[in-house]
């Protein structure tokens, strides 16, 4: 089964929601679009209105996905919601799939035709019984796409519908191959491939849609009479100026770079290093590759880090050409078969088999260095590319066009054990770090990263030029800035230049200011300044400077130091405290088979057979030879051994169905007792008057009921022993065992659009979707509290990145974690009124209270819409004094 990332599934869910709304509104695109946005957690009011694209009346939507996000897989999975919601079940379906270049067209066709490829698998999973025909668009000129095929996918380039393209002129010309196809249609007198497509009202998928946004291209696409158009692009059109031929993309779902990173799709941050000459660039790139290679040996899966070098064109004798880079690599010990050249005329990548391997990712492949001039061919993709080496100043964005995206993809789309293998690296010959960083940032934006994300994704390398100290990043290394610190007593306002986009920070341990672009906590800083700067006028000038920097978004609001919180621990058999988790509950559950089987019965509420339910049999009548449908229950007594059901059914026939699911619940039950449990249930139902035949007919429903009963029985016992642990075992909450929120990663897949409203959140401009309005109001209240240094919107079900407490059922992730100005921690669980008194909430409140009682520096409360203000205020007051 093709597995989707969280954001990929969310994008598809949004598309499904739109299709349902579109169908419900009887084809009113604007209404469906607005209702979808209204019910989407990704957008907040006021919603962007749907903007009509030229004269198109069909939906014309966009899913924004940055480079490396898996646009093609989402495109493949998009067929199902569009087909199922918008088309009649007996209608043949035509997809026009447009890619930017012929090379991408070839790759797409190859993937969609290959039954082992994830794109083809994705479609076949959604349409297991459909006939699917994948064709090159230009091949459809001669080979008519078949009306009898359930799904036809015509793949072509963006230029396919450009009337000015002489090679595609025949697309619009009369074509007798489509005479029968268009018979009895309004196009019957003008048979052509174009009219056959129009007649079919195709679903049009446009990959890299920003490249087809010319006015002429849009007109030609709309002229094909599409029923639906879906754009997939990293950089949607933002401007809507119809008179100038610009039409804004109707973005229905937007994937952020942070989501890609959270799902391990891309390698971020980019470690940027600038050096003062090209030979150092080559040498440092080689050294970086070898260091990464040494780390990769300990990884579970094979990784061979690769360097991409961008050489200069051969303009004069001073040009750093691919020959000079190759010769220098050979000089410093690189083997010749480890280097390939990929330029417009030399295509050694295309002949990789000459190196004794099938692909560049094979273990047998020796290639470690690729040298190109402008860009690798479009569509080239190797996640082993880790290092980008550029031997000249990045004077323009075109200097790294396409190449930056080549080093972002993450091998095997998973977190690596060695942290350095989760990053990308750029080493550039330049004396101008800030300009180089700006160029890379621009390239990130061109690859679909938001500007703020680009600002947070570039880090300086410890060996880089001194000028790097004036820029920072999401993954800051404090030691890099030591040489740029100044004493409080010598603080000079003139050293801070808003114009040059420098920023100030204050370390309350070293009592020093630092000048660079990195996160600060303005409130804490002002308090320190108030006590450090005696002159009132000087303080006001500095305070004004800070406020100006914040308002201009020059400095990013965050906090100094780690944000740690003690965990609930339990003493094990060896007398050592360890984090309390589910295994400790399982270890101490000691219930008998007799206790388990005492619950082996089903009440009428837990299982019953509806009198109005029908079970039908589809068969061929032996006399009429026609297909007949008969209610199964009425004929059941007439079945012999050779017919659909047996009359000598026994309980073991049903028990086999029960045991076919080797689930966690079965494994959690007393050994070898599940079969007895099912047998007891079945006998009990027979005693109540159910026939064994009835139970066999409804065996799937019975199986679900028994599995739920086992689950409920297990949970009763887990709850029982969970509660007993607090009476019989030692627990502790101490700073010796803590969870620390990473400064580097806030792995939410769903950033709230209102994130910028919050000034004290530990992850600036990053906050997990708050959902209901009442929870949002609570978050706003928390953010404005004076005695809060910082706070975190805790992410559910991400145990490696979030604080949790164990309950009898699962891990419990409180909604908000607050750090007070005195360093104490307050944990808040927000509950809707309908859930504030249920058993789950009571158990969460209990474990939270136990955690709180064991340490005077922490607090726990459970709040709701009606009481959160006074409860939070009262608890903070108690923790402060």
Q: Give the pLDDT confidence score for residue 619 in this predicted structure.
A: 43
Cα angle, residue 698 at apex, residues 697 and 704 outer, rounded to 5°: 150
What mean pLDDT is reported for the chain?
Answer: 76
Grade residue 147 by pLDDT with cuts at 50, 70 and 90. Answer: low
Mean pLDDT for 365-387 is 80
Q: Which residues make Cβ contacts (< 8 Å) with residue 380, sequence separation at least 6?
A: 349, 406
Mention the CATH class of domain 261-467.
Answer: alpha beta
Q: Which residues pair with 547 in a beta bridge?
A: none
pLDDT tens digits for range 429-452:
876 655 666 666 666 666 666 554
Mention the CATH class of domain 6-255.
Answer: alpha beta
Q: Give the pLDDT confidence score for residue 825 in this predicted structure.
A: 93
Of 272, 313, 568, nearest to 424 by C-alpha is 272
Q: Give the pLDDT confidence score for residue 45 in this predicted structure.
A: 55
Cα angle, residue 653 at apex, residues 650 and 656 outer, rounded to 5°: 145
Q: What are the phi and psi torsion angles at 288 (to 5°)?
A: -60, -45
What's the rounded Cα separation, in Å, for the pair 518 and 505? 8
Q: What are the phi and psi torsion angles at 824 (to 5°)?
A: -75, 160
CA 245 to chain centre: 33
Dihedral (CA of 186, 190, 196, 198) sign = negative
**Does position 334 have pLDDT exceeding 80, yes or no?**
yes
Assign a CATH topology to domain 738-880. Trna Endonuclease; Chain: A, domain 1 (3.40.1350)
Q: With left for phi above 0 and alpha for psi between -120 and 50, is residue 630 left, alpha or beta?
A: beta
Structure token digits, residue 711 = 């689950």
pLDDT tens digits for range 696-739:
767 778 888 888 888 888 888 778 777 777 877 888 888 888 88
Residue, of 130 and 531, whose pLDDT is higher: 130
Of 41, 43, 62, nearest to 51 by C-alpha is 62
Q: Is the CB of residue 815 less than 8 Å from the CB of residue 828?
A: yes
Grade residue 497 by pLDDT with cuts at 50, 70 and 90. Answer: very low
Structure token digits, residue 463 = 């060996």
3-state secondary structure at position 654: helix
Q: Give the pLDDT confidence score for residue 871 in this predicted structure.
A: 93
Grade residue 170 by pLDDT with cuts at 50, 70 and 90. Answer: confident
Residue, of 314 and 330, whose pLDDT is higher: 330
Element (H, E) at 455: helix 451-455
**Does position 663 have pLDDT exceeding 60, yes or no?**
no
Q: Give the pLDDT confidence score for residue 859 in this predicted structure.
A: 94
What letter would DSSP give residue 392?
S
**Does position 260 have pLDDT exceeding 80, yes or no?**
no
Residue, of 838 and 848, whose pLDDT is higher: 848
Mean pLDDT for 805-816 is 89
Q: Give the pLDDT confidence score for residue 499 in this predicted structure.
A: 33
Indicate the pairing of strand 731-732 with strand 569-571: antiparallel
Grade residue 512 by pLDDT with cuts at 50, 70 and 90. Answer: very low
Q: Give the whole-number percent of the chain exceeding pLDDT 70.
A: 72
- Largest distance between two CA atoms of the chain: 107
Structure token digits, residue 352 = 């990789």
Q: Is the CB of residue 429 less than 8 Å from the CB of residue 390?
A: yes
Q: Is the CB of residue 378 less than 8 Å from the CB of residue 228?
A: no
Residue, of 877 and 212, whose pLDDT is higher: 877
Q: Residue 846: exposed, middle, or buried by beta-carbon count in 10 A (0-12, 13-18, 19+)? A: middle
What's the rounded Cα separation, in Å, for the pair 743 and 265? 19
Q: Residue 307: exposed, middle, or buried by beta-carbon count in 10 A (0-12, 13-18, 19+)? A: buried
Grade residue 89 by pLDDT with cuts at 50, 70 and 90. Answer: low
- Please give the full DSSP string across 567-618, using - where no structure is assigned: PPEEE-TTS-EEE--HHHHHHH----HHHHHTT----TTT----TT---EEE
Domain positions in the chain are 6-255, 261-467, 478-551, 586-726, 738-880
**Does position 163 have pLDDT exceeding 70, yes or no?**
no
Q: Give the pLDDT confidence score for residue 780 in this predicted structure.
A: 93
- Please give the full DSSP string across 145-158, using - where no structure is assigned: PPTTSSEEEEEEEG
**Does position 679 have pLDDT exceeding 70, yes or no?**
yes
**Does position 862 have pLDDT exceeding 70, yes or no?**
yes
Q: What are the phi and psi torsion angles at 224 (to 5°)?
A: -80, 5
Q: Is the CB of residue 227 less than 8 Å from the CB of residue 88?
A: no
Which of the listed ranges 101-115, 381-395, 458-472, 543-557 does the model predict with the highest average pLDDT?
A: 101-115
Q: Give the whole-number percent of the chain exceeding pLDDT 90.
A: 18
Q: Give the pLDDT confidence score for residue 20 in this predicted structure.
A: 92
Q: How far from each other are the two terminal CA atoms of the chain, in whole angstroms?
A: 56
Q: With left for phi above 0 and alpha for psi between -120 and 50, is residue 225 left, alpha or beta?
A: left
**Does position 44 have pLDDT exceeding 60, yes or no?**
no
Q: Give the pLDDT confidence score for residue 549 in this predicted structure.
A: 52
Q: Give the pLDDT confidence score for residue 123 in this predicted structure.
A: 93
For the chain, counts of helices (H) and of strands (E): 27, 30
Residue, of 477 and 868, whose pLDDT is higher: 868
Q: Give the pLDDT confidence score for residue 471 in this predicted structure.
A: 30
Q: Which residues make Cβ contacts (< 8 Å) with residue 743, sequence separation at least 6?
A: 474, 475, 476, 562
3-state secondary structure at position 355: helix
Q: Tally Cβ neighbours within 10 Å of residue 342.
A: 19
What's the rounded Cα separation, in Å, for the pair 441 and 447? 10
Residue, of 509 and 472, whose pLDDT is higher: 509
Cα angle, residue 845 at apex, residues 563 and 809 outer, rounded to 5°: 90
Cα angle, residue 222 at apex, residues 221 and 227 outer, rounded to 5°: 105
Element (H, E) at 98: strand 93-99
- For the stretch 641-646, contacts whose Cβ atoms lie closer than 8 Å and that sit 24 or more positions apart, written own/partner, are 644/617, 644/619, 645/693, 645/696, 645/697
Q: Identify the weakest region by mean pLDDT among 10-14, 338-342, 729-733.
A: 729-733
CA atoms within 13 A on the CB side of 456: 24
Q: Give the pLDDT confidence score for residue 503 in this predicted structure.
A: 40
**Does 847 sit behind a cis peptide bond, omega within 30 degrees of 0 on the bond before it?**
no
Q: Give the pLDDT confidence score for residue 524 in this predicted structure.
A: 53
Q: What are the phi and psi torsion angles at 751 (to 5°)?
A: -75, 130
Domains 261-467 and 738-880 share a fold: no
Element (H, E) at 861: strand 858-863
Q: Give the pLDDT confidence score for residue 367 in this predicted structure.
A: 94
* Residue given tokens 């003008």 in the structure block: 190
Calculate the alpha carbon distances from 137 to 120, 144, 194, 458, 859 in Å.
Answer: 18, 10, 11, 41, 65
Which of the listed ranges 465-474, 495-504, 650-659, 799-808 does the model predict with the highest average pLDDT?
A: 799-808
């Amino acid at each position: 089964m093709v597995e989707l990332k969280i954001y990929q599934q969310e994008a598809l869910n949004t598309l499904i929601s739109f299709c349902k709304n579109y169908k419900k509104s009887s084809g009113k695109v604007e209404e469906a679009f607005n209702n979808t946005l209204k019910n989407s957690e990704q957008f907040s009011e006021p919603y962007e209105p749907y903007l009509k694209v030229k004269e198109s009346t069909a939906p014309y939507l966009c899913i924004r996905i940055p480079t490396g996000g898996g646009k093609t897989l989402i495109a493949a999975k998009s067929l199902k919601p569009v087909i199922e919601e918008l088309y009649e079940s007996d209608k043949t379906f035509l997809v026009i799939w447009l890619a930017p270049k012929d090379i991408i067209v070839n790759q797409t066709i190859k993937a969609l035709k290959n039954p082992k490829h994830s794109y083809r698998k994705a479609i076949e999973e959604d349409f297991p019984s459909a006939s699917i025909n994948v064709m090159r668009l230009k091949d459809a000129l001669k080979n008519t796409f078949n009306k009898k095929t359930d799904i036809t996918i015509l793949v072509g380039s963006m230029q396919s519908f450009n009337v000015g393209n002489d090679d595609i002129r025949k697309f619009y010309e009369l074509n007798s191959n489509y005479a029968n196809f268009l018979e009895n249609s309004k196009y019957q007198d003008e048979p052509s491939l174009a009219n056959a497509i129009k007649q079919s009202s195709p679903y049009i998928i446009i990959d890299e849609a920003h490249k087809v946004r010319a006015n002429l291209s849009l007109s030609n696409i709309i002229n094909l009479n599409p029923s639906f158009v879906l754009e997939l692009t990293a950089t949607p059109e933002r401007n809507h100026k119809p008179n100038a031929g610009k039409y804004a993309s109707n973005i229905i779902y937007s994937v952020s770079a942070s989501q890609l990173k959270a799902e391990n799709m891309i390698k971020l941050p980019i470690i940027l290093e600038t050096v003062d000459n090209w030979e150092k660039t080559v040498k440092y790139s080689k050294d970086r590759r070898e260091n990464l290679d040494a780390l990769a040996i300990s990884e579970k899966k094979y990784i061979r880090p690769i360097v991409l070098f961008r050489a200069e064109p051969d303009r004069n004798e001073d040009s750093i050409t691919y020959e000079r880079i190759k010769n220098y690599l050979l000089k410093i010990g690189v083997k010749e078969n480890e280097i390939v050249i990929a330029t417009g005329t030399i295509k050694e990548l295309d002949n990789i088999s000459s190196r004794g391997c099938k692909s560049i990712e094979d273990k047998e492949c020796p290639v470690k260095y690729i040298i190109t001039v402008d860009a690798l061919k479009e569509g080239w993709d190797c996640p082993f590319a880790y290092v980008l080496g550029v031997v000249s100043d990045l004077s323009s964005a075109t200097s790294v066009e396409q190449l930056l995206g080549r080093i972002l993809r993450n091998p095997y789309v998973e977190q690596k054990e060695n942290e350095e293998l989760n990053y990308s690296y750029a080493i550039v010959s330049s004396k101008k770090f800030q300009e180089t960083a700006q160029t890379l940032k621009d390239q990130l934006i061109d690859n679909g990263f938001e500007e703020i994300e680009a600002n947070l994704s570039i880090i300086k390398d410890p060996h880089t030029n001194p000028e790097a100290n004036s820029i920072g990043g999401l993954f800051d290394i404090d030691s890099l800035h030591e040489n740029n610190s100044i004493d409080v007593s010598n603080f000079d306002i003139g050293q801070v230049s808003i114009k040059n986009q420098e920023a100030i920070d204050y370390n309350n341990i070293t009592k020093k200011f630092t000048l660079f672009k990195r996160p600060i906590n303005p409130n804490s800083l002002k308090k320190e300044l108030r006590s450090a700067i005696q002159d009132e006028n000087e303080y006001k000038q500095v305070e004004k400077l800070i406020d100006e920097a914040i308002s201009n978004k020059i400095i990013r609001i965050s906090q100094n130091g780690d944000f740690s919180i003690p965990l609930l621990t339990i003493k094990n058999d060896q007398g050592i405290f360890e984090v309390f988790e589910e295994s400790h509950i399982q270890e101490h559950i000691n219930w008998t088979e007799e206790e388990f089987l005492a619950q082996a019965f089903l009440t009428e509420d837990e299982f019953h057979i509806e009198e109005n339910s029908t079970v039908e049999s589809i068969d061929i009548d032996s006399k009429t030879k026609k297909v007949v449908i008969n209610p199964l229950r009425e004929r059941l007594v007439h079945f012999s051994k050779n017919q659909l059901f047996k009359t000598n059914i026994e309980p073991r026939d049903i028990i086999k169905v029960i045991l076919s699911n080797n689930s966690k619940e079965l494994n959690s039950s007393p050994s070898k007792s599940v079969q007895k449990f099912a047998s007891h249930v079945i006998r009990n139902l027979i005693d109540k008057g159910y026939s064994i035949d009835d139970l066999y007919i409804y065996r799937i429903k019975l199986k679900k009921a028994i599995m739920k009963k086992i689950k409920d029985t297990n949970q009763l016992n887990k709850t029982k022993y969970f509660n007993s642990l607090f009476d019989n075992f030692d627990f502790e909450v101490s700073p010796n065992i803590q969870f620390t929120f990473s400064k580097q990663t806030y792995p939410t897949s769903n950033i709230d659009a209102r994130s910028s409203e919050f000034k004290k959140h530990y992850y600036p401009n990053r906050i997990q979707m708050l959902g209901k309005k009442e929870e949002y109001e609570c978050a706003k209240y928390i953010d404005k509290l004076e005695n809060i240094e910082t706070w975190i919107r805790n992410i559910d079900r991400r145990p490696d990145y979030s604080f949790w407490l164990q309950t009898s059922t699962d891990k419990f992730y409180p909604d908000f974690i607050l750090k007070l100005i005195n360093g104490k921690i307050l944990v808040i669980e927000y509950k809707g009124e309908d859930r504030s008194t249920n058993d789950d909430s009571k158990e969460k409140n209990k474990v939270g209270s136990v955690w709180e009682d064991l340490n005077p520096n922490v607090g726990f409360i459970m709040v709701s819409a009606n009481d959160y203000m006074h409860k939070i205020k009262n608890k903070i007051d108690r923790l402060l004094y």
